[in-house]
Amino acid sequence: MMADKAEPLKETFPHPPRLSDAFLEEVEKVVGSADLKTSEAELVAHSRDFWPLSQVWFLKGKIPALPEAVAYPESTQEVAKIVRLSAKYNVPIVPYGGGTGVLGGAIPIFGGLVVDIKKMNKILEVNDKSLLVKAQAGINGWRYEEALNSLGYTGGHIPQSLPSSTVGGWIACRAAGQFSTKYGKIEDLVVSVEAVMPDGKVVKSKTVPRSSTGPRLEQLLLGSEGILGIITEATLRIFPFPEKRVLLSFAFDELERPLEAVRKILRRGFFPAVVRIYDEAEVSLHFRNLKELEGKSLLLFVLEGDARLTDLEAEVVAEECRKEGGSFNGEEPVKHWLKTRFDVHLLAEMVKAGAVIDTIEIATTWDKAAELYHGTVESLHAVDGTVLASGHFSHFYQDGACLYLTFGGFPTSPDEYYWQAWGAVMETTLKLGGTISHHHGVGLVRAKWVHKELGEYFEVLKKIKSAIDPLKIFNPGKLGWGE
């Protein structure tokens, strides 16, 4: 039999009633005793994701909310059996991938069972002729990309969380990677999915390039954050490993100029793999060793692909940047970014030092991009206690861009400051016609503003949720449900 279940240390949410022994015994029969965990260490490890505020709580000995058990299935069939048992016993169930979400989406606020899919970690098939890969949803992002690279491909999806996130997590939160301007976001890459629905049925969508036979299942699950189903497998588009890579950077006196340069590059039909525009504050923070960039905005490019196309793209990029007054700064800033892009130790160190710090990604169309940047940064500076408020543009389209904000301070009341800062950005974004989330999703943090963002569409989403999950056991309280 299993070890005694752990008691919570100190929680911010009330601890729910314990799971019944009968339920745990039935789950144990499905996954085996080694893959059903109830130890305190295991429950604490699955009590949170990478939400910065929960890290502040954790350092103070507070656990956001404990699950009552963690199961590690190894197949779609095992997931389906677990889900049927959860429905039978009316047990809340929370899917868990890499735990890299930053909005509390994986916190089991009603306790219950966490279903960790990391043992479902295989690439099942590579179709060279069609440039497709079928993979289990629990495969680690880094290993996924590394395996594709060894076969001569790239997946094209490189989020900052690549070393720890999973393919299923990318789909569930509707993710976007750093190379998305060329290769697309996750919705552009997913061709078909296999998932377990709240009644335990396994559903699969067809692997075809496109279909108009009604609404597509994978589009419903994209961004669903575990409230509609557990994704177990996916087929995604892949690309030949690039023949050539070119690194370029340009410095500008004001942020509007690189924005205009990028808009014109995309308008001409050129799509660099990576495009990033840093404001003066972020340049001083992330590129402080490059003294020639002091007081400047910085525009970075990674161009890659067929050698002849890449050379032409480099010419166009340089031409448009110079037209907007950009001065060429060579490869060094881009090399520095490539070297440090997965490094988040600074955020962790600041939290340990007592800071409240977070990032917020929003998006809008080109005609509102500069206004959104200035409006949101000003709104953050207006919050009492703010020490840092900065931004960079990280993902681009022909019709607009994603703005990625960073804020931080050392307030006397961390929770109050945190929600005031988030509220300032959310309300300003809604007022200026932007979207309150570009690729991190909703989780717990954005729940308060989802209704304003979606309007009547939220009522449609509620009906879909009620029809698919009438017991309301799939990741309850997320994506705008509950307080």
pLDDT digits (tens, 9 = 90+) for 346-400: 677 777 778 899 999 999 999 999 999 999 999 999 999 999 999 999 999 999 9
DSSP assignment of 280-347, as one string?
A: HHHHHHHSTT-GGGTT-EEEEEEEEESHHHHHHHHHHHHHHHHHTT-EE--SHHHHHHHHHTT--HHH
How confident is the model at residue 354, as a pLDDT? Answer: 80
Strand partners, 240: 153
pLDDT digits (tens, 9 = 90+) for 1-35: 344 444 444 555 555 567 899 999 999 999 999 99
Residue 81 has pLDDT above 60, yes or no: yes
The CA–CA distances, whole Å, from 46 to 28, 90, 161 equal: 18, 20, 17
pLDDT grade, residue 59 (50/70/90)?
confident
Please indicate, yes or no, whether the overall pTM of this predicted structure exceeds 0.85. Answer: yes
Mean pLDDT value of segment 56-83: 93
CA distance linking residue 333 with residue 327, whole number of Å = 13
DSSP assignment of 415-447, as one string?
A: HHHHHHHHHHHHHHHHHTT-BS-SSS--TTTTH
Mean pLDDT value of segment 55-82: 93
How confident is the model at residue 483, as a pLDDT? Answer: 46
pLDDT digits (tens, 9 = 90+) for 127-142: 999 999 999 999 999 9
The lowest-confidence range among 7-21, 68-82, 188-202, 363-377 is 7-21
CA distance linking residue 111 with residue 109, whole number of Å = 6
How confident is the model at residue 283, as a pLDDT? Answer: 95
How confident is the model at residue 60, as a pLDDT? Answer: 84
Query: One-letter amino acid identity for 337?
Result: W
Please give the share of the chain, as a percent, with pLDDT higher than 70.
95
Phi-psi region of 479 (alpha: psi -120 to 50; beta: other; left: phi over 0): left
The lowest-confidence range among 21-35, 49-63, 145-159, 225-239 is 49-63
How confident is the model at residue 3, as a pLDDT? Answer: 41
CA distance linking residue 102 with residue 479, whole number of Å = 14
How confident is the model at residue 292, as a pLDDT? Answer: 87
Lookup: tokens for 22: 């009968």
How confident is the model at residue 434, as a pLDDT? Answer: 98
CA distance linking residue 293 with residue 288, whole number of Å = 8
How confident is the model at residue 23, as a pLDDT? Answer: 97
**pLDDT, averaged across the chain:** 93
pLDDT digits (tens, 9 = 90+) for 221-271: 999 999 999 999 999 999 999 999 999 999 999 999 999 999 999 999 999
